Structure 1
Amino acid sequence: MPRRSASQKRAAKQARKRNSDPSVVVDIKSRNSFIETQTITARAAPPLQAKTLSQGQYITAIKSHKLTFGTGPAGTGKSYVAGAIAAEELEARRIEKIIITRPAVEAGENMGFLPGDLQEKFDPYFDAFRDCLIERLGKGAVECGLKNDRIVVAPMAYLRGKTFNDAFVVLDEAQNCTRAQLKLFLTRIGENCRVVVNGDIRQSDIGNQSGLQDAINRLGHLNSVYVHAFEHEDIVRSGLVKDIIECYEK
């Protein structure tokens, strides 16, 4: 039997390792194109489970309506539920991309100039969804999705002229959108598109210029639109957060 060179032995060893390693993450590409894989730890997320009756109603509303408004105090799971359902839709290839946006309004503190390109500047606003998507899809899949535009994170100002086709779109912190911004955003909705708009009207950083309540008043009667209002008893973040919010709003 001929002896193999050192390079041939290393190649054979790596091939055996790849074939025996079940930890594979899929780069979730278009359902019409090939699938790339890379070796990292696989993540099997459990099915999304509602923590409260109100969350269950919200999940059902998102899955059965083209446009869902979620309002209510912090800690009720509005952002997490939207992100988790978006991940499920992308993983099942019922949509081509996830689009996440929010107004670039700072919460009472000016951070000044942020270095980097557009993606890096807007990255701090994506943190609320990053952990959720990583939990549901795995870190490698999220990184690949961001790289090949299957997961798009963009500020409101960059949505003008775009159409949301074959997408799951989440607008977070919508209480900081003006009426004009919300009109611009909502008129982007195209075919096979599901949209979730989240916000707490009582926590607006732009005062009475907020367009969230205006949009709900105008659109709430439409058959394809659902408005879900969370209450203080629906807070699941912690009992302390619930007490803090009640104290501030008394």
Structure 2
Amino acid sequence: TSTRKALVTPKTLGQQKYIDAIRGHDITVGIGPAGTGKTYLAVALAIAALREEKAARIILTRPAVEAGEALGFLPGDLYEKITPYLRPLHDALHDMLPAEEIQSDLERGIIEIAPLAYMRGRTLNHAFIILDEAQNSTTEQMFMFLTRLGHDSKAVITGDLTQIDLPPHKHSGLVEACHALRKIEGIAIVEFQRRDVVRHPLVQRIIAAYEEHRGRQK
């Protein structure tokens, strides 16, 4: 278990704030640039909750923007089309659990990885739910997701407001949620800064250079 616990070790103050927020709230929104550990830490905490029997299952979801979230094709086709968009969630799991354990948990429904559209009409009880890349959810999808939360469940919503891939006429559900939910007790919104980037040292500098470049263009 010591190696598992080490996975939830914050490297920055922003990460510590995020971990504390997730532990202390039923819904936590983590916003910030790539490489800040938003998804990784949420998955690590979800696995810890499962091990400590604070959650019966983990549900990992993200909007499949490029696939248009369309569900009008056969399950086999669906799996092939959707898998690339869910890959980062698989990657985070594989960093923390043996492949056989992941496979077994997926088969038994203890871990579920699915596109956001698959959450519709469900009530998610006794679950640790992570909505990744939430900036690419529409306002309708985000409202749908937020109202799925059932008994003894915890949700973590992650996103980067500078990376919205929605069509121009669609508004980001994450942007709306951040405004609408800011004052609700039980919901935490944590904003990561550039200094929280824990990938290759160059990544911080790349983000800074782009921010400066885009600032000059405005």
Q: Normalized against structure 1, the TM-score is what?
A: 0.76
Counterpart residue number, 2:216 = none
Counterpart residue number, 1:159 = 119
Shift of 1:115: 9.1
Shift of 1:190: 0.7
Shift of 1:121: 3.3
Equivalent positions of 1:87-236 (< 5 A) are 87-106=47-66, 116-206=76-166, 207=168, 209-236=171-198
| Equivalent position amino acid for 1:45 in 2 | R
Shift of 1:217: 0.9
Indicate conservation of the 8 Å contact 2:135/2:174, yes or no: yes
Indicate conservation of the 8 Å contact 2:31/2:192, yes or no: yes
Indicate conservation of the 8 Å contact 1:44/1:136, yes or no: no
**CA shift in 2, pair 1:64/1:106, >3 Å:** same
Distance 2:62 2:211 in 1: 24
Indicate conservation of the 8 Å contact 1:43/1:138, yes or no: no
Distance 1:152 1:170 in 2: 10
Counterpart residue number, 2:201 = 239
Distance 1:43 1:133 in 2: 17
**CA shift in 2, pair 1:44/1:245, >3 Å:** closer
Which of 15, 30, 33 matches 1:73? 33
SS at structure 1 position matched to 2:124: coil
Indicate conservation of the 8 Å contact 1:122/1:155, yes or no: yes
Q: Normalized against structure 2, the TM-score is what?
A: 0.86
Count of residues in correspondence between the two structures: 204
CA RMSD of aligned residues (A): 2.3
Distance 2:17 2:26 in 1: 15
Indicate conservation of the 8 Å contact 1:175/1:200, yes or no: yes
Report Cα offsets for 1:116-153 as digits up to 9, x if no partner: 35444322223222233233332221110111111111
| Equivalent position amino acid for 1:96 in 2 | A
Structure 1 runs not aligned, ≥5 long: 1-41, 108-112
Which of 50, 53, 70 matches 2:13? 53
Distance 1:46 1:99 in 2: 20
**CA shift in 2, pair 1:143/1:117, >3 Å:** farther
The runs of at least 4 consecutive aligned structure 1 residues that moved more than 6 Å come to none
Shift of 1:46: 4.2
Report Cα offsets for 1:145-195 as digits up to 9, x if no partner: 111111111111111110110000000001111111100000001110000
